[in-house]
Structure 1
């Protein structure tokens, strides 16, 4: 269907002077630019709206993360780790010497 429309338009355009064809081309270009810019503005607006939704939720999200952290007072001892590590290290030295 589109090829038929283009063919009919070309039959109308062909007899026109070069000056009129350039004017027509200019008008078509302006029309396309307006539509293209309008779509970009809509996309930017949508992006800003979406970011705004995250921005509003941001404070409560941060609060939830901070509140879910576990602040344990448990002491961690590396005594057993040190004993095991030194045994392993001495074993390595004996096998490589």
Structure 2
């Protein structure tokens, strides 16, 4: 279940994706399959090849791209991988984390 996201944040994420940028959207998230994880970051880009190449830098397999909505392909990042990627991308404060 996703929550804690504002409409303008979602709109900005979608706009960046359509421009071919790597875009990040972090929101609160609870899923019993991932205990201890309370947020997820969607790292998306409309250009699948660009997204796959970006993901390889962080050890993400192209097969992990969520492409159920073809206009918004993305990786779901959570846990330690989420923190690692956001830190390396220079995103220091997401949902109150430092």
TM range (shorter): under 0.3
* TM-score (ref. length: structure 1): 0.24
* TM-score (ref. length: structure 2): 0.24
Structure with more contact order per residue of length (Cα contacts < 8 Å, sep ≥ 6)? 2
Q: In proportion to residue count, which structure has more helix?
A: 1
